[in-house]
């Protein structure tokens, strides 16, 4: 099938590569601000495991081509995939209006961009208005394919999905897109279809539910600290209930990510506009922002407010493992709180240091390190903000020798408190510190 994909961010690139890999003829159209020459050289501006190699392979095979002019995409596609970022609604709208006037024949568009709810209907109305007076006025089929891609596992998320949610208001466009997605549903994946507005709302509702689970467990972890209960035992008990399960109930120092946070804010705003006296989502978001300072509060208490002149080794700056993005990362809130108290931060992250450097510029109280052991040198404490795999099983004896004090504040509960105590560390987890310090 001939497919045009508009937008070369994470969603657009993964979509284009995945569709080309199963035999489709894909044109990937660069949009505003995207560097066409770098893309043609498979030089992408963000970290995503395996994406660069797959992009190189599909470009070399000729199944995927990158175009600078959108008219090439207009002419090429049997299906047109809109994958611009959420803050480029007007760009997407203008592009689809131009597509509607350029192509007089029936058009099938799939919106993957996360716009506000009802965007699909508004976009379709704009395309129909552009065709007013033409013979094929109503031959515009606009579907919604909400993206559930997670940074760090985006390729697998598209090619081996647990489910695909597809919104469609007409049968004809639905059949064509179902055929396009068929190769990704051969194993355990399920296709769920519903009207476009319901699909948009479902995406937001899922993220709201996940955020609520995370924030609830963080609240329980904070309570566990106060009453002397190990939250890890509670987590296992809660997860054993099949109505709840183990996903998204790991307490920690808060969640981040630009896309996830933006979608939650949009959902909260929509709820507040349409539902009287609804405060749940705003409370979830406020709770999460407070949770980003949980390690700072533990250090403040442990050091009895005397923090000036201390040095902290901080492990992790990205908002999650396997990405270099730092958008709304808990580590940023933590660093700024530490700096405000005169603390020097020695930071190590496997991929995000350049983004931190660009975000903050040079600072005397920020030292970027090449390894977790370099970060630990001369530190008064070690803090963990991101659960990168290389942080799970370090050489603790070496760490203890490098640090001024064997003190760990673990924002992801990576370590066993009893084992840390045996090694001579003072250990504070999230909901684990009271019983084993």
Two tokens, residue 363? 């600072």
What pLDDT is attached to residue 123?
96
pTM: 0.83
In tens digits, the chain (437 residues) has pLDDT values of 999 999 999 999 999 999 999 999 999 999 877 788 888 888 888 888 899 999 999 999 999 999 989 999 999 999 999 999 888 899 999 999 999 999 888 999 999 998 888 899 999 999 999 987 665 556 899 999 999 888 889 999 999 998 899 999 988 889 999 999 999 987 665 899 999 999 999 988 888 898 899 999 999 999 999 898 999 999 999 999 999 999 989 999 998 877 677 777 777 777 766 666 667 788 888 889 999 999 999 999 999 999 999 999 999 999 999 899 999 999 999 999 999 999 999 999 999 999 999 999 999 999 999 999 999 999 999 999 999 999 999 999 999 999 999 999 999 999 999 999 999 999 999 999 544 44
CA distance 187 to 190: 9
Q: Are 88 and 194 in contact (CB under 8 A)?
A: no
pLDDT, one tens digit per residue, over 300-341 is 999 999 999 999 999 999 999 989 999 999 999 999 999 999
- Strands of the 79-82 sheet, one edge to the other: 64-67, 25-29, 2-6, 79-82, 107-111, 140-144, 163-167, 190-194
Q: Give per-residue pLDDT as tens, 76-113.
A: 999 999 999 888 899 999 999 999 999 888 999 999 99
Q: Assign residue 228 a region: left if phi > 0, alpha if psi is -120 to 50, beta otherwise?
A: left
- The pLDDT score that the predictor gives to residue 104 is 86
CA 45 – CA 346 distance, rounded (Å)? 25
Q: What pLDDT, on a 0 to 100 scale, did the predictor assign at position 173?
A: 85
Domains in the chain, CATH or no CATH each:
2-193 (3.40.50.720), 195-437 (3.40.50.720)
């Amino acid at each position: 099938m001939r497919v045009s994909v508009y937008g070369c961010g994470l969603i657009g690139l993964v979509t284009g590569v995945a569709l080309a890999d199963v035999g489709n003829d894909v044109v990937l159209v660069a949009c505003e601000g995207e560097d066409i020459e770098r893309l043609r050289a498979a030089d992408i501006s963000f970290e995503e495991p395996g994406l660069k190699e797959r992009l190189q392979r599909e470009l070399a095979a000729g199944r995927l081509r990158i175009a600078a002019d959108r008219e090439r995409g207009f002419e090429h596609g049997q299906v047109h995939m809109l994958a611009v970022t959420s803050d480029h609604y007007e760009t997407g709208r203008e592009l689809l209006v131009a597509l509607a006037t350029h192509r007089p024949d029936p058009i099938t568009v799939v919106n993957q961009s996360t716009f506000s709810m009802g965007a699909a209907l508004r976009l379709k109305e704009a395309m129909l208005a552009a065709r007013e007076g033409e013979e094929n006025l109503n031959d515009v089929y606009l579907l919604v394919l909400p993206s559930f891609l997670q940074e760090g596992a985006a390729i697998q998320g598209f090619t081996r999905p647990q489910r695909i949610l597809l919104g469609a208001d007409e049968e004809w466009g639905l059949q064509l897109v179902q055929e396009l997605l068929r190769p990704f549903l051969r194993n355990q994946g399920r296709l769920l279809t519903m009207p476009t507005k319901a699909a948009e709302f479902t995406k937001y509702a899922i993220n709201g539910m996940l955020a609520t689970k995370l924030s609830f467990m963080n609240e329980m972890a904070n309570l566990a600290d106060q009453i002397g209960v190990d939250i890890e035992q509670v987590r296992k008990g809660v997860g054993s209930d099949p109505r709840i399960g183990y996903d998204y109930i790991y307490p920690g120092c808060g969640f981040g990510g630009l896309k996830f946070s933006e979608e939650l804010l949009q959902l909260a705003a929509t709820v507040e506009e349409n539902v009287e006296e609804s405060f749940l989502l705003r409370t979830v978001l406020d709770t999460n922002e407070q949770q980003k300072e949980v390690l700072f509060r533990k250090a403040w208490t442990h050091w009895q407010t005397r923090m000036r002149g201390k040095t902290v080794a901080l492990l992790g700056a990205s908002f999650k493992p396997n990405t270099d993005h730092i958008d709304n990362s808990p580590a940023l809130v933590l660093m700024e709180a530490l700096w405000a108290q005169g603390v020097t931060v020695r930071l190590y992250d496997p991929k995000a240091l350049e983004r931190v450097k660009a975000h903050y510029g040079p600072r005397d109280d920020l030292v970027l390190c090449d390894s977790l052991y370099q970060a630990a040198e001369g530190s008064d404490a070690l803090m963990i903000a991101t659960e990168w795999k290389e942080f799970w099983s370090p050489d603790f004896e070496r760490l203890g020798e490098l640090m001024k004090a064997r003190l760990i504040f673990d924002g992801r509960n990576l370590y066993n408190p009893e084992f840390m105590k045996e090694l001579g560390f003072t250990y504070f987890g999230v909901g684990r510190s009271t019983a084993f310090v």
